[in-house]
Every structure is written in structure tokens, then in C-alpha cells.
């Protein structure tokens, strides 16, 4: 194991399963023998507000917060939220982002317009960007709510953690009745190229 700390940021809006995804990430890293620290920031998350979770792992981790410009992976559940948090990524960082637009209240009320071309703008700044059809793959797995697990599978390919730990973490954190769909969703995400 290296001394380096790996910094992952999960961003999106309330109700997308971000907190469960950060729990599964943390559990996976602990099972793999790492020290893990996690922090969450909820902005009216129950009402579709911004949610950010910081997950850091390594040999020894002292702070749960990812310093600005030091994120290794930005794990985005929604395009505008992902774009908004790009400054937290380090140069050469990776972005795994759900190809999904959720309009904030200001857009729904007609006060603002949802920005266009965000996926291209993200890729222009961070060439190592994987755009994921989270909803489509979750539907294929059998449940639209498993989009967060599809995204976890896609992120897992960018981390040097054995698949067995990911699957063990899923078993521990996902309710038994939803486990099979989530396993399938994870595999669909993990099989994505890019």
C-alpha cells in the first residue's frame, strides 16, 4: 500500500443515493485494509438541493475533507452539480458523471436557463471523463433507483481495489431484497469502457 491518500468527491442532488454510494465506497476501502475518512454536506438535500460527500482513503488519513484542487476523482450524479465542483479536482483528475440534467428550482420557475453543453465543457477541462447513462443501465438492471450503483461500478474501474471488496460492501450496505438488482447494476457500470 502506498502512503498516498486518494481523494474522491461525490456530488449531485438530494434523493440520488449519493450518501449510500459514499457509504459503499467507504466500506469497500475499509474491507481492502485502508484508513478511511468521510464527510457530507447537505444543502436542503431532501428537496433536491446540492449534496456533496468527501471520501478519502489511504494508509493514514487525518482529515475527511478534500482540499480544493486535490480531488483525484469527481463522481458526479448530475451534470450541473458536477460542473460546479470541477475546481475541487486536481489537474489530470478523473470525472465519472451521470448523463443526467436535474433542473434546480430557479430553472423550474423560469428565472434561469439550464446551461447547455456541460458534458463537453467538463471533458474539455478534464479529458479523462466518462459520461455514463446511469438511468438507462439501471433500467436494464431492473430498477431505475440503482443508477447510483451503476455509477459506483464505473468508478470502481478507476481505482485499484479488488472487485471482491466492492461486492462484499454491496452485500453489507444494500437491503437483501435489492441486492441482486444492485449487483447487476454494479457490473453494468464496471463493464463500461473509457
Q: Which CATH number belongs to the domain containing residue 98 in this structure?
A: 3.40.920.10
The pLDDT of 142-154, averaged and rounded, is 95
Assigned domain for 149 exists: yes
25, three cell numbers: 465506497
Q: How far apart are CA 140 and CA 104, in angstroms?
A: 27
Give the pLDDT confidence score for residue 45 in this predicted structure: 46
Assigned domain for 141 exists: yes
The pLDDT of 134-157, averaged and rounded, is 96
Give the pLDDT confidence score for residue 5 in this predicted structure: 95
Give the pLDDT confidence score for residue 43 in this predicted structure: 61
Q: With contact defined as beta carbons under 8 Å apart, do 108 and 184 qualify?
A: no
Question: What is the pLDDT confidence band of residue 44, given thresholds at 50, 70 and 90?
Answer: low
- Where is pLDDT greater, at 3 or 102? 102
Give the pLDDT confidence score for residue 188 in this predicted structure: 98
Assigned domain for 75 exists: yes
Give the pLDDT confidence score for residue 15 in this predicted structure: 84
Assigned domain for 90 exists: yes
The helix or strand, by DSSP H or E, that contains position 23, with its residue range, turns out to be helix 18-31
Give the pLDDT confidence score for residue 48 in this predicted structure: 66
Assigned domain for 91 exists: yes
- pLDDT surpassing 60 at residue 2: no
- 75-84, 100-109, 127-136: least confident range: 100-109
Assigned domain for 155 exists: yes
Q: With contact defined as beta carbons under 8 Å apart, do 75 and 9 qualify?
A: yes
Closest CA to 1 of 39, 26, 35, 24: 35
- 11-20, 38-47, 118-127, 155-164: least confident range: 38-47
Q: How far apart are CA 181 and CA 162, in angstroms?
A: 21
Q: How far apart are CA 78 and CA 72, in angstroms?
A: 18
Assigned domain for 112 exists: yes
Assigned domain for 1 exists: no
- Domain of 26, in residue numbers: 6-190
Say how many domains are in the chain. 1
171, three cell numbers: 452485500
Give percent helix, percent strand, percent coil of the chain, each to the nearest 5.
45, 25, 35
- pLDDT surpassing 50 at residue 32: yes
The pLDDT of 9-20, averaged and rounded, is 91
Dihedral sign computed on CA atoms, order 56, 24, 129, 11: negative
The pLDDT of 91-108, averaged and rounded, is 92
What percentage of residues in the chain have a pLDDT greater than 70?
95
- Where is pLDDT greater, at 106 or 123? 123
Give the pLDDT confidence score for residue 131 in this predicted structure: 97
Closest CA to 78 of 132, 2, 22, 20: 132
- pLDDT surpassing 50 at residue 36: yes
Residue 103's CB is within 10 A of a number of other CB atoms, namely 15
Amino acid at each position: 500500500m502506498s502512503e498516498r491518500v486518494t481523494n474522491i468527491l461525490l456530488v449531485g442532488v438530494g434523493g440520488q443515493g449519493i450518501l449510500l454510494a459514499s457509504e459503499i465506497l467507504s466500506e469497500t476501502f475499509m474491507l481492502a485494509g485502508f484508513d478511511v475518512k468521510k464527510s457530507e454536506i447537505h444543502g436542503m438535500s431532501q428537496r433536491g438541493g446540492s449534496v456533496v460527500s468527501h471520501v478519502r482513503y489511504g494508509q493514514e488519513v487525518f482529515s475527511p475533507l478534500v482540499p480544493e484542487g486535490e480531488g483525484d476523482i469527481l463522481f458526479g450524479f448530475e451534470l450541473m452539480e458536477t460542473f460546479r465542483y470541477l475546481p475541487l479536482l486536481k489537474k489530470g483528475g478523473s470525472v465519472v458523471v451521470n448523463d443526467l440534467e436535474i433542473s434546480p428550482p430557479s430553472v423550474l420557475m423560469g428565472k434561469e436557463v439550464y446551461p447547455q453543453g456541460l458534458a463537453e465543457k467538463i471533458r474539455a477541462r478534464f479529458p479523462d471523463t466518462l459520461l455514463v447513462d446511469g438511468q438507462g443501465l439501471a433500467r436494464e438492471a431492473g430498477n431505475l433507483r440503482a443508477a447510483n450503483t451503476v455509477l459506483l461500478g464505473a468508478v470502481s474501474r478507476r481505482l485499484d481495489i479488488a472487485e471482491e471488496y466492492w461486492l462484499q460492501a454491496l452485500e453489507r450496505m444494500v437491503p437483501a431484497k435489492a441486492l441482486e438488482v444492485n449487483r447487476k447494476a454494479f457490473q453494468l457500470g464496471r463493464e463500461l469502457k473509457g
